[in-house]
Structure formats: C-alpha cells, structure tokens
Amino acid sequence: MIRTMRPVIVAGNWKMHTTPADAGDLARTIEARTRVDGVVRVLCPPYVCLAAVRDALAGSDVAVGAQDVHHEATGAYTGAISAPMLAGLATWTIVGHSERRRDACETDELIGRKVVAARGAGLRTILCVGEELADREAGRAREVVDRQLWGSLGPADPATFGGDDPIGFSIAYEPVWAIGTGRNARGSDAADMIGAIRATLAAIGFGAGGEDVPVLYGGSVASSNIDEFMAEPSIDGALVGGASLKPDEMAAIVARAGLTAAARAAAVA
C-alpha cells in the first residue's frame, strides 16, 4: 500500500547519443509528445548537449539532468564536471549508474560522496543500484543492493538527501542483467527488490521508513513492458535508456505513467 502519494517520475537517460546540433529538436519533440498531468519528466543528455536541451525546453515543465557529477566542487580533475558547474544548465543528475560503476570502477563510497555533493548543490539526484546476473543467479541480489545502499548512503545523514523536496532524492533500481541483454525482469521481480530497498532505507534512518522516497525501475524500459512495472504500487516511474531517444516510445511510457499518477491522485482525493 502507498502510505504517501509519492510523485511519478519518468527520466530519460540519453547516454552517449545526440550532438548539440540535434539534441534540441529531439527534446522539443519529446516534450510536445509527453504532456501528461501528474508525471515529472526529466531528460538527461550528454554534457555537451545540456545547453541546447535547456534552451529547447525553456518555458516547459520538463527538467534537464546531467548523467553524472563529480564528488568534489573544484580541483585538479581533468575532464570532470562538478555540481556547481551545472548551475543554469541542469537541475537533476544521475549518480551511480551501472555503466559508471562498470566502466569507471566507481565504488559505493565514491558514489555516496557524489550524492552528497549533488544534493549540497541543490541538484535533484537519482541514485542507481542493482545487481548483475551472476549475483541474481547465486541468490545474492538483495545482498548486493543492500550493500550498495549502505555503502553509499549509510555514512551520511539521510535528512540531507531529500529535505523538504519530495523529488530531491530518488532511487532507480536497475537490474544490470536486464539492460540491453534481451533478458527481461518481471514487474514482480522489481517490486520485490523495491520492497527490500525501502526496508534498507528504513534501517539506514530515512524518515517514514523510506516510504517517502520515490523508487524508479530502470532495466530496458520500453512501451512494451512499462505497463507491467507501473502496475506495481511500489514503483514510482522509470529511468529510461535507449527508448528515451524515440519520441513514440517516450510518449507511450509517459502516458502509462500518467495513469498511475491519476490513480494515486484519485486515491487521496
């Protein structure tokens, strides 16, 4: 049961796609196709496209997010982008994506520092967690996600993450084994893990036992499977990868998320 009316969020992670020449047009098209009441929409283009997407979305209620952020505000970190540098360009950021963990060997401790840095700079932050196939097949999925949460969030004060902003901090559960592999998670799989995530948040010390924290699903989300996930009361939206580059897909995904948002609003009316 939903103890509070958590927001419904759909965030698109464009990864290393688009250029400043075409990102703005894509953002405008997606914005126009996804105007659905009750759904928080976020687009996360590559760093070099942030300004183009920001300008394209000016005057709309679609937010712009960065795909990563550095854990320090300034310093001798060649090629890195800090949270203060994103002022005026983005209001959201993704932290701890599985591809950053894999390709940049990011640790839970480092990811936790990124969360603190991002929230300290006022960026709404999506923390990604999730297990690989070997962990799930060995029965270690919950253990892995629990360790990721404690490792990144445990050392800090949970009160600093969300504050008074109901979408200041959220989590995306992304089973790595379901991202671009052709293997699909089920809605019940995701709901079961999200229940475990909220139990861990409660143990860490989050208010309301973690029930106030939006948790998204992020494993190869598409129009063909979004219904299964949004039908689960514990799932509060989606972190969309490749499908977020396709206006038709995003339109269908946001439309389905809107049904959940409307149902939640009616339940508390």
Catalytically active residues are: 97, 174
What is the C-alpha separation between 212 and 159, in angstroms, rounded? 12
The rounded distance, in Å, linking the Cα atoms of 245 and 235 is 22
Tell me the C-alpha distance between 43 and 239, whole Å: 10
Joined tokens for residue 132: 């690989």
Report the 3 state secondary structure along 239-263.
EECHHHHCHHHHHHHHHHHHHHHHH
Residue 69 and residue 128: Cα distance in Å, rounded?
13
Structure tokens at 104: 């940049």
Contact 110, 71 (CB under 8 A): yes
Residue 191 and residue 235 in contact, taking contact as beta carbons nearer than 8 Å: yes
Cα 105 to Cα 111: distance, rounded to the nearest angstrom: 10
